[in-house]
Amino acid sequence: MLRTHTCGELRLTDIHKTVTLTGWVQKSRDLGGMTFIDLRDRYGITQLAFNTNWNSDLVEKARSVGREFVLQITGTVIERENKNLMMPTGEIEVKVTTFVVLNSAVTPPFTIEDHTDGGDELRMKYRYLDLRRNTVRQNLELRHKLALETRNYLDSLQFIEVETPVLIKSTPEGARDFVVPSRMNPGEFYALPQSPQTFKQLLMVSGFDRYYQIVKCFRDEDLRADRQPEFTQIDCEMSFVEQEDVLQVFEGMIRHLFKKIKDIDLPPLPRMTYEQAMREYGNDKPDTRFGMKIHDVSSLVKGKNFKVFDDAEVVLAINAEGAAAWTRKQIDELTEWVKRPQIGATGLVYARHNPDGTVKSSVDKFYNDEELSGWAKELNSGTGDLILVLAGPETKTRKAMSELRLEMGNRLGLRNKDTFSCLWVVDFPLLEWNDGDPNLLASLAGRWHAKHHPFTSPKPEDIALLSSNPGAVRANAYDLVINGVEVGGGSIRIHSSELQSKMFEILGFSKEEALKQFGFLMNAFEFGAPPHGGLAFGFDRLCSLLGGADNIRDFIAFPKNNAGRDVMIDAPSEISQEQLHELRLATLPLNKSV
Amino acid sequence: MLRTHTCGELRLTDIHKTVTLTGWVQKSRDLGGMTFIDLRDRYGITQLAFNTNWNSDLVEKARSVGREFVLQITGTVIERENKNLMMPTGEIEVKVTTFVVLNSAVTPPFTIEDHTDGGDELRMKYRYLDLRRNTVRQNLELRHKLALETRNYLDSLQFIEVETPVLIKSTPEGARDFVVPSRMNPGEFYALPQSPQTFKQLLMVSGFDRYYQIVKCFRDEDLRADRQPEFTQIDCEMSFVEQEDVLQVFEGMIRHLFKKIKDIDLPPLPRMTYEQAMREYGNDKPDTRFGMKIHDVSSLVKGKNFKVFDDAEVVLAINAEGAAAWTRKQIDELTEWVKRPQIGATGLVYARHNPDGTVKSSVDKFYNDEELSGWAKELNSGTGDLILVLAGPETKTRKAMSELRLEMGNRLGLRNKDTFSCLWVVDFPLLEWNDGDPNLLASLAGRWHAKHHPFTSPKPEDIALLSSNPGAVRANAYDLVINGVEVGGGSIRIHSSELQSKMFEILGFSKEEALKQFGFLMNAFEFGAPPHGGLAFGFDRLCSLLGGADNIRDFIAFPKNNAGRDVMIDAPSEISQEQLHELRLATLPLNKSV
């Protein structure tokens, strides 16, 4: 090694030792006769001292190095005069005796500090410099530790990590696949997996019993904020289990991770049905760090000649505790906020629960005091609270109310990143109607679409509804939700080839299509498939949650931007004609009709 | 759980317990009044007992189940009358009281036994059944353990596992890339990484100091036996190191793995230069489980009027100990063997070292006893040994002699799979001349090509040769070789952008090409790159070696065949016109000139 110690290692007990350190110049201070350099590596920072009284040549040399130069120095550990007890190495410094510049550095385009002056785009372009910042490096250290603890936990329960293939077959029933042309098989393509779903089910058919994998998956979707075309899952599957077994094992995993990473003892995770989540939170991934549940006040408010409410399919209300003091201006601004196209409400009705116990609303001409007291009672509001009401079509209004609830949670400081509220959402619907999801191929519109995926088992008691009322069939499916984020999800799978065929039929596959796409799985089920189920966690998201951050990008070493581009390496990019020709492919001009 | 115990768990101490087991029917025996079923799961086999005296309905039901049916049974653990001490559960059986067929099974196309009657193709098509076989499952269990121990070792030395991207940029300087068309960026492509080389170097520039990753890599090459288009590497990199540091750390890793997996204490690994390996073994990955080194006997044998030797560029010999008793027929067959086109020798000369001490050769008319004794002395042969001689052009003959040596090692039983001989081969040449490698794009022929990759550092003392005699420049590059297999390889990297530019120039890149392909790396080097180096291990190969197997396929859950096809899922395959159109691509007919 070019060093004897790291820059985070030396203490008072090392005094008088001769040491060699390597690292980057964090900063240097020139105090006339003395020069100090902070030398940084992954492990910490050590102060280097130069003094004209010791060696004036060395001081000259030290003055000439700039930020981010790479140095190798040898010297003696001495006690500092001015100790810095905020730094682990702050009681010592190294009196430098020899000094090599291993590499010079041009000035970085932004400062390598916890709070940098670099904007997002610049940081992405020079990601290798951004990664020098402690905060970003610590995120990736957390990711490493999270992966290791995940493996330790699952290994202790006899799960086997099995690598499944990356070059697989395109199955355009879900989101779009990335495809890979095969040179050896011209005209044919591999696809990159959106998940190892079918392979992990085959491993259960093989008797692997308990499988996991921390694995890259790929989805070619129009990227929204904070989605990546490649992402990492903790993918798991178990045999001879019922839903309760899966929930127990993975609740244990989440508890293990919180304990090891955050030293937090999570309480047992509550369960909530999809129906309840939609009703009380307007959302299948409720943020339960705070209450402010949604109440359907339709029956309470209709029939009082207020046309907006009378004409609405549904009238929903929440109680924002302690917000009665909000000014008219604040409420007007909130009204504008709910009317933005992303939220889509047509207006906002409110009622203040005043300190004197009266309730005053923005629609007082339609509702008398007694009626408004009825609102307060329904919403369990007290003096000082603010009731907010939205009305309109059911689905849209529930969604808007969910957004408003989260926004009020933000504004009232109820969504602290260091507080964690975890729960299981269960009993999802098996199917949903696709009326033109832009993330699916256009040819799949106007069909039932699997809410989780086509291998999810319906609840046995709902199987009879499959033909008569597919939308009402509930699945043995579950999501793990933390702080309003879906962190994981899974299901008990179908293990009968007959029921699986039936599912493909409902999803609009012809027998031929089903066989062509998934024949191998249905065949496998003929040879003795065990009951099985599992789930997958979004690893990037789990890292960012445990890291107390909003976005996943800073927990990915080399992320892509919202256009799916790696701006550092400039990918994707054109390839040579020679490569295209070998693949028997031609690119079509953008304006050519196809 | 649908079970209380696994099929590998019950012992005499469990007698009288009521248990529920789940698993597959391995076999059943109908002995009239009694029926026995062997129930199998991943953990073992337990014998189930049925008796008409206990319950004749159950016996009827037990008789009706076939091989590989999935059962759930409940019963009482009883002591066996006929104990089988070869099985961990062989002292007990379960007297079944209730019995559910969880799934039936059609008859598998081959037997689910350690030695199956299924051929390779059938086993691949029904890989999920092949994986039920103990031997194959144990291979994947070994792989899991190997990965876990690798991580434990590297984690203990403060290596961080960092995931690098899979969707990167095509860099056609090496083997061919698999490419991925981007729908969001029409006409542009991502490439799948052949290795995370540039990213791990960027992580060193970022100060990560010690990085590793167990990672899938991809290479679109014309597949040879036992190569896979996707393969797994243990990829590692360290900063502030010299070659010796890298060798120490990873020799430690290999020693750790052998100890943990095989309980073998490896001796310190010898080092051999590339030059010595080529000279003594004709091969840069010598199998050192046995000697039989290659001797250049040119000076000894030339000038005796034997035209074949006189005209040859080189005459090489090995001493096959104990093979003097081989019959003429055996030697004739060996002669045919060396003349096969894969070996390419024109003939084989031999000399027997007889029990009476005389040496008799197939070319006695040219060489007298004294001269033949000279051969024996040079090759250090004793009575009972057989000297084998090949002559011809240097490169070809050395390669043929290496093959012959390995073949003789096989035939003489010197290549035991349970014996391990590991070594480092060092001082590789930096460059080799590409005169039309079919695994490279045709446009790269007639150029210098990087033997390891373009980022490998030349030895400082050889840098002066870069311009004058590139072929003579040695690299700070090293391979780990076990039993004649290159298991890992790496190098100290270039960390100066100037030297890196020079390398690209030698490799025939124009300045523009180099910037377009690798500008991000050369830029990164401007901001303070530390000296760094590392290596990568072929994880599939390491698994198969430690598993005592020849081929890597049985250590991969879902491998592809030699045509790059997954015959189980039938990939690659055609994709829909809708998918192609969204990607703005057209496939060209095979016969169309492009």
DSSP state, B173?
T
Determine whether the interchain pair B526/A106 forms a contact, defined as Cβ–Cβ distance below 8 Å: yes
Closest Cα in chain A, distance from residue B320 (Å):
42
Range picked from A171-185, A196-210, B540-554 for highest mean pLDDT: A196-210
Q: Are the C-beta atoms of B453 and B534 separated by less than 8 Å?
A: no
Token pair in block for residue B77: 């653990």
Nearest CB to B220: which of A3, A160, A183? A183
Q: Is the pLDDT of residue A558 over 60?
A: yes
Q: What angle do CA B299, B401, B292 make, to 5 degrees?
A: 85
Q: In the predicted model, what is the mean pLDDT of chain A? A: 94
Which of the four CATH numbers 3.40.50.1980, 3.30.450.20, 3.30.1360.30, 3.40.309.10 does domain B290-415 have?
3.30.1360.30
* B-chain residues near A584 (CB < 8 A): 587-590, 594
Query: Does the distance separating the beta carbons of B216 and A574 come in below 8 Å?
Result: no
- Strand A189-191 and strand B485-492: pairing? unpaired
B364 vs A148, B315, B384, B472, CA distance in Å? 68, 16, 18, 40
- Please give the DSSP secondary-structure letter assigned to residue A228: -
Contact criterion met (CB < 8 Å) for B161 and A144: yes
* pLDDT tens digits along B117-134: 888 899 999 999 999 999
Quick: pLDDT tens for A418-443. 999 999 999 999 998 888 777 777 77
Task: Assess A513–B contact: CB distance below 8 Å, yes or no.
Answer: no
Mutate to test the interface with A, among B39, B103, B164 (most CBs of A within 10 A): B103
Cα–Cα distance for residue pair B558/A524, rounded to 1 Å: 14
Q: Tell whether A166 lies on the interface with B, counting CB pairs under 8 A.
A: yes
CB–CB of B250/B480 below 8 Å?
A: yes
Task: Give A460 to chain B, closest Cα distance, Å.
Answer: 15
The CATH number of domain B12-103, selected from 3.40.50.920, 3.40.605.10, 3.30.310.80, 2.40.50.140: 2.40.50.140
ipTM of this predicted complex? 0.94
Residue of B40, B206, B213, B517 to mutate, interface with A, max A Cβ within 10 Å: B206
Q: Which of A246, A575, A584 to mutate to test the interface with B (most CBs of B within 10 A)?
A: A575
List pLDDT tens digits, range B295-318.
999 999 999 999 999 999 999 999
Residue B366 has pLDDT above 80, yes or no: yes
In this prediction, residue A306 has a pLDDT band, given cuts at 50, 70 and 90, of very high
In the CATH hierarchy, which fold is given to the domain comprising B138-270+424-555? BirA Bifunctional Protein; domain 2 (3.30.930)
What tokens appear for A289 in the block? 């760090």
pLDDT digit string, tens, across residues B32-88 = 889 999 999 999 999 999 999 999 999 999 999 999 999 999 999 999 999 999 999
- Inform me whether the pLDDT recorded for A191 exceeds 60: yes
pLDDT at B14: 98
Residue B594 pLDDT: 43
pLDDT of A594 over the 50 cut: no
Interface of A with B in 126-155 (CB under 8 A): 126-129, 131-132, 137, 140-141, 143-144, 147-148, 151, 155
Query: Residue A574: its chain B contacts at CB < 8 A?
Result: 187-189
- Nearest Cα residue to B172 out of A581, A177, A231: A581
pLDDT at site B172: 66
Residue B339, CA distances (Å) to A266, A299, B335, B336, B390 in order? 72, 95, 6, 5, 11
Which of A128, A572, A586 minimises the CB distance to B189? A572
Q: Which residues of A touch B128 (CB under 8 A)?
A: 202-203, 205-206, 524, 527
Task: State pTM to two decimals.
Answer: 0.94
- The per-residue pLDDT for A592 is 52
Helix (H, G, I), strand (E, B) or coil at A47: strand
pLDDT recorded at residue B449:
86
Max mean pLDDT among A52-61, A167-176, B155-164 falls in B155-164
Buried b (16+ CB within 10 A) or exposed e, A64-97: ebebbbbbbbbbbbeeeeeeeeeeebbbbbbebe
pLDDT at position B167 is 97
pLDDT at residue B440, as a whole number: 76
From CA B265, how far away is CA B353, in angstroms rounded?
A: 38
Instruction: Answer whether B336's CB lies under 8 Å from B406's CB.
Output: no
| CB within 8 Å: B198 and A242 | no
| Mean pLDDT, range A551-577, rounded to an integer | 93
Q: Look at residue B436 in the predicted model and tell me its pLDDT.
A: 79
- pLDDT above 90: residue B221: no
Which among B1, B524, B587 has CB closest to A585? B587
User: What is the DSSP-derived secondary structure letter of residue B382?
Assistant: -
Q: Which residues of chain B from 29 to 48 reach within 8 Å of chain A, CB to CB? A: 40-43
The answer to whether B126 contacts A527, with C-beta atoms less than 8 Å apart, is yes
Nearest to B184 among A183, A564, A594 (CB): A564
- The H helix count followed by the E strand count for chain B is 17, 23
Mean pLDDT score, B212-232: 90
Residues of A in contact with B2 (CB under 8 A): 240-242, 531
Q: Contact B198/A569, CB-based, under 8 Å?
A: yes
Looking at residue B494, its pLDDT comes to 95
Domain residue spans of chain B: 12-103, 138-270+424-555, 290-415
Residue of B nearest to A579 (CA): B441
Q: Do A180 and B178 touch (CB under 8 A)?
A: yes
Q: Are B163 and A556 in contact (CB < 8 Å)?
A: yes
Mean pLDDT value across residues A58-76: 96
Residue B116 has pLDDT above 90, yes or no: no
Report the residue of chain A nearest B177, measured CA to CA.
A579
Could you read off the pLDDT of A78-116 as tens digits, one per residue? 999 999 999 999 999 999 999 999 999 999 999 999 998
What is the spatial distance between Cα A28 and Cα B411, in angstroms, rounded to a whole number?
Answer: 68
SS3 A308: helix
pLDDT at position B517, please?
84
A493 touches chain B (CB under 8 A): no
Which pLDDT belongs to residue A591?
A: 62
The C-alpha atoms of residue A16 and residue A340 are separated, in whole angstroms, by 67
| pLDDT 10s digits, B466-498 | 889 999 999 999 999 999 999 999 999 999 988
- Residue spans of alpha helices (H) in A212-358: 243-257, 274-281, 298-301, 307-311, 328-339
CA distances from B548 to A47, B130, B137, B251, B483 (A): 52, 19, 15, 20, 11
High-pLDDT (> 70) share of chain B, %: 99
**pLDDT value at position B591?**
61
How many angstroms separate the CA atoms of B372 and B375, rounded? 5
Backbone φ and ψ for B114, nearest 5 degrees, come out as -60, -45
Closest CA to B498 of A24, A100, A104: A104
Indicate the average pLDDT of chain B: 94
Task: Tell me what the mean pLDDT of segment A40-44 comes to.
Answer: 97
Q: Residues A476-523: pLDDT tens digits?
A: 999 999 999 999 999 999 999 889 989 888 888 888 888 888 889 999
d(CA B296, CA B278): 12
What are the tens digits of pLDDT across the range A316-358? 999 999 999 999 999 999 999 999 999 999 999 999 999 999 9
The reported pLDDT for the residue numbered B265 is 97
Residues of A within 8 A of B222 (CB-CB) are 184
User: Which residues does chain B have within 8 Å of residue A162's beta carbon, measured at their own beta carbons?
Assistant: 140, 143-144, 557
Dihedral angle at the C-alpha atoms of A518, A524, A526, A528, nearest 10 degrees?
Answer: -140
Give the tens place of pLDDT for each residue, B571-581.
999 998 888 99
Phi then psi for A590, rounded to 5 degrees? -60, -35
Q: Do A216 and B163 touch (CB under 8 A)?
A: yes
Residues A132 and A68: their CA atoms lie apart, in Å, by 10
Residue carrying the six token digits 């036992």 = B226
The pLDDT value recorded for residue A439 is: 75
State the pLDDT at residue B189: 96
- Work out the percent of chain A whose per-residue pLDDT is above 70: 99
Residues A357-400 have pLDDT tens digits of 999 999 999 999 999 999 999 999 999 999 999 999 999 999 99
